[in-house]
Amino acid sequence: MPTHARERAFLESIAKRRILITYQELAKALQISPPHSIHRVTEALERLMEEDAAADRPFIAALAISKTRGCLPGPGFFDCARRLGRFAGDPDGQDARMFHASELNAVFACWGGSGDN
């Protein structure tokens, strides 16, 4: 199974638990070994974003975050969202936090199963 397909299946399973995962944790969970494991993870995440945009779904890639940016995805997430026409703002500021929170809410609504909302 291609990396992005394995990644989607794994992200859908964690969406049900309503948790976030770092790129490093995702690489480890999918057994993507160095070198360039994070790069391969983020490439697959961008492919998922393209699929989600084409299917008019929320970005399941929003579940993957950068350890160094707190609870936000890396800049590539916002660059890809901009290329796909869904984000226009500062990838390091309040715009990014608001966009990410909105995507997470939509992801949990779509894949989160029965929640309290």
Kindly state whether residue 116 falls inside one of the protein's structural domains.
Answer: no
Kindly state whether residue 71 falls inside one of the protein's structural domains.
Answer: yes
Q: Which pair of structure tokens corresponds to residue 108?
A: 């949990």
- What is the residue range of 80's domain? 3-111
Q: Note the pLDDT tens digit of each residue in 38-96.
A: 999 999 999 999 999 999 999 999 999 999 988 999 999 999 999 999 999 999 889 99
Token pair 């939509």 is at which residue?
A: 106
∠ CA 106-43-58, rounded to 5°:
10
| This model's pTM is above 0.85 | yes
Q: Note the pLDDT tens digit of each residue in 9-23.
A: 999 999 999 999 999
Domain total for the chain?
1
The confidence band for 117, taking pLDDT boundaries of 50, 70 and 90, is very low
Q: Which residues contact 97 (CB under 8 A, 6 or more apart)?
A: 72
Which 8-state DSSP code applies to residue 32? -
- Report the alpha-carbon distance of residue 80 to residue 108 in Å, rounded: 20
pLDDT over 90 at 2, yes or no? no
Kindly state whether residue 88 falls inside one of the protein's structural domains.
Answer: yes
Kindly state whether residue 117 falls inside one of the protein's structural domains.
Answer: no
- In this structure, is the dihedral angle defined by the CA atoms of residues 6, 11, 14 and 16, taken in order, positive or negative? negative
